[in-house]
Structure 1
Amino acid sequence: MSTKEGKSVKLTQQQHQNGHLSPSKFAKLFDPEVSWDKDELGDILHWIRQFLGLVCGSVWGSIPVVGGIWFILFLVMSTGIIYGYYALVLKVDEEEFGGHGVLLQEGLFASITLFLLSWTLVYSLAHF
């Protein structure tokens, strides 16, 4: 099989039944037409929360800010972003995945730990 035929076969294998090319993995994250299974969506929400925990903790620690209001702000912001992502961007039916509570809890406790760890570490290293 020539290289040109190999590319043609790969291209044909990537096409959907409707004739469109399959989206890249990154593009899939923002496509409301893509169907998600429970584990895939849970993994995506989990890792988004971990990223938010690391970024917010690092920013909070480097500014520096202290106090419970910043912890509550992180929780509200993180939950709002997760809700906006699955409800407004992906437009998934939350009942198929166990409801809002299940989706909003995905990765929450691990992200809190990562947030507090990064906040404390950055604050300690930058300001002492």
Structure 2
Amino acid sequence: MKDGKSMKVNSQLQQNGHLPPFKLAKLFDPETSWDKDQLGDVLHWMRQSVALVCGLLWGSIPLVGGVWFILFLVISTTMIYGYYAMILKVDEEEFGGHGVLLQEGLFASITLFLLMWTLIYSLGHF
């Protein structure tokens, strides 16, 4: 298995003299082909970053109440839907439908959001 990886790297090195860099533009290119795992990982980590930012923001303002939790869910879900449907323009049926794509990373992001929100709020107001 290791030999297969090193052969692939060596062939890439021989083609152009250096390794191809990870292109951030791939994340915004609708022509890029995605497999289920790659797209799932991107959606998962996008949702985690939204959870981190919202948790830090909500805790530092300080905001309390269920309406802010619902707002986080709306923001997070809207960003994920907008990303895969409007920016990447993927056919959601190839990946299991809207439900599967919208659930990607949801429960982990709720945990991270609540943890950050509570932690920042508690540190600032005890």
CA displacement at 1:56 relative to structure 2: 0.2
TM-align CA RMSD: 1.9
| CA displacement 1:26-64 (0-9 Å, x = unmatched) | 110000000000000000000000001011000000000
Per-residue CA distance 1:47-102 (angstroms, 9 max, x = gap): 00000101100000000000000000000010000000000000000000000000
* Number of positions where the alignment pairs a residue of Structure 1 with one of Structure 2: 114
Relative to the length of structure 2, the TM-score reads 0.85
1:10 Cα deviation from its structure 2 partner = 1.3
Does residue 26 of the first structure (1) align with residue 57 of the second (2)?
no
Q: Secondary structure at the match of 1:29?
A: helix
1:12-32 alpha-carbon deviations (Å, 9 max, x no partner): 996xxxxxxxx8431100000
Specify whether residues 101 and 115 from structure 1 end up closer, same or farther in structure 2 by C-alpha distance, changes over 3 A only.
same
**What residue is the counterpart of 1:10 in the other structure?**
16
Aligned-residue identity in percent: 75
* Corresponding residue for residue 4 of structure 1: none
Pick aligned residue for 1:57 from 49, 55, 58: 55
Give the deviation of 1:9 after TM superposition.
3.6
Superposition map of 1:1-128 within 5 A: 9-10=15-16, 24-128=22-126
Change in CA separation of 1:112 and 1:13 when aligned onto 2, cut-off 3 Å? closer
TM-score of the two chains, using structure 1 as the length reference = 0.83
Q: Which amino acid aligns with 2:51?
A: G
Runs of 4 or more off by more than 3 Å in structure 1? Answer: 11-14
Q: Which runs of 5+ in 2 are unaligned?
A: 1-12
